[in-house]
Structures are given as C-alpha cells and as structure tokens.
Amino acid sequence: MALSPLRPQEARAVEIEPTPQPSRTYEYNFETGEFGGMIDGEAALRQAIRKAIVTARFRYLIYGHEHLYGCDLEDLIGQDLPIELLNAEIPRVISEALLIDDRIADVYNFTITREGDGLYVSFFVDTTEGTIREEVTI
C-alpha cells in the first residue's frame, strides 16, 4: 500500500522540483501603448518589473482582489510627504510589488532623489536572469 498511514510521512511524501517557465511575452511600449513582437529573458523581466510598479494594486478587475499584483505607490503620489518617509515607504512598496514574482529573489539598494515634482528611484533586482539595475520616475 503506497499511501498507508502506517508508513512514516517521509516515505509517503513525494518531492517535486518546480520547472521554471519561460518569460516569453509580447513587448509593450509604455510611451505609445502599443504592442510589438515577442520578448523573452531579461527584456521580458524588465518589462514585468516596470508593469508591476506602474499598475495600481486592487484597481483592475482582471487581477482580482485575491491576487496581490500591482503596487501601492499611488497612495504616496501627490502628497507632501517628507523625504524621510518616502525613503522608508517607497522601497517597501516596490519590494512588495516585485517579490510576488517567482523570478525575483531580492530588491535592494534603493536611491531616491527629488527631481522637481517627481521622484527618481533606482534600485537593484536579483533575478533568475542575474542582477538588474532598474530606474523609475514617479
């Protein structure tokens, strides 16, 4: 009996290694809103990072409320918050948005600077494709 409760749990459990899925997707031009050809690897991962950051969490029905896709940066935009608070909240919010993706292992080394009415944020992302340096303006 393969599933006998009399056997120890170690003998009953079967460990399965997850198979990494390809990152192949359509290329999206964020400036024009148009789709292009197919991309894969680092280019697809960079696009996924940017899309997760610019998508407001819980706003779009396609992602549903049970999914944690998107970012809560919208709550910080337009408020006159001290830079100390932004230095604490922006890394937390961006990290939460990106670490949902199983291709991303770590998000770190944030640099946040004010540029006029906007904020310039740069950071590093450890991924299955290697380390990526990302920059966003919010």
Domains of the chain listed by start with CATH number = 22-137 (3.10.450.40)
| pLDDT greater than 70 at residue 74 | yes
- Residue 133 pLDDT grade (very low, low, confident, very high; cuts 50, 70, 90): very high
pTM (global) more than 0.85: no
Q: Report the C-alpha gap between 59 and 40 in whole angstroms.
A: 27
Angle between helices 41-54 and 83-98 (to 10 degrees): 130
Query: Cβ(84)–Cβ(99) under 8 Å?
Result: no
